[in-house]
Every structure is written in C-alpha cells, then in structure tokens.
Amino acid sequence: MESITDRLSCLMKRKNIKAVELAQAVAVNTSTVSRILKGTQMPASDTLYKFAQYFNVTMEYLLTGDISAQENCVSADFSRREELLLEYFNIMGAEDQEELMMIARMKAAKRTRESI
C-alpha cells in the first residue's frame, strides 16, 4: 500500500527536486522533510497544506492516495512512454528543453493542419 512518503517521493520525482529544494520551497526545516520522507515523522497539518499547495494536489491525496476527485500524481495518467519522456525532459538543460518544446509545437501544428 502506498504511503504519504511514497506519494511525496513520486511528486518530487515528477518535479525533479530533492528534499532540500522542497524544504526551501515550502519554508520547512530540511530535517523535518527528511524525517517525513523516511517515514519516521508524519507532517503537521500546516506542512501538509504547504506540500499540497506546492505540488498542486489535495491534502486528501497526500494522506490517502485518493485520486477519484482529482488526478494528482503524474503516473496515474501517463503511460510508461510518457513518463520516460518527462524524465528525459527533466534531465535536460533549459536550452535543450526549449528546443524540444519548439519541435513539439511544430509537430503538433503540422498534425493539426493535416487533420483539417
């Protein structure tokens, strides 16, 4: 069964961030985030709220994993192929990401023109 630790780790992986970066982004002590990720501490309600806001998910999702009302973790919707594409994209530098976005826009525009 997936835990809050698993869900946070999944969301962090999707954003390609580390515990230190998450702690800074939500203004929580790094050691607190580390303990939460290790499963030795449950997040306080205000910390849980900050995580939910940062990842644009519900607190309910973080606590229970319930995605019936809202699709939260990217893997819930993405195929393995799409997950790999996202992983590769996150590894790239900003310039390469922008180049890839330009190629994707051109391909999408071409497909749109072909379907008309």
CA distance 55 to 16: 12
| Helix/strand/coil for 10 | helix
CB–CB of 44/29 below 8 Å?
A: no
Q: Domain 4-76: which topology?
A: 434 Repressor (Amino-terminal Domain) (1.10.260)
Q: What is the pLDDT of residues 52-87, one digit of tens each?
A: 999 888 888 898 887 664 454 544 556 777 777 877
Q: What band does 99 get if pLDDT is binned at 50, 70 and 90? A: very high
Q: Which residue has the higher pLDDT, 105 or 83?
A: 105
pLDDT at 78: 64
- Token reading at 60: 């309910």
Q: Span 79-98, mean pLDDT?
A: 82
| Amino acid identity for residue 82 in this structure | E
pLDDT at 72: 44
Helix (H) or strand (E) holding 114: helix 94-115
Q: Which residues contact 115 (CB under 8 A, 6 or more apart)?
A: none
Domain locations in the chain as residue ranges: 4-76, 80-115
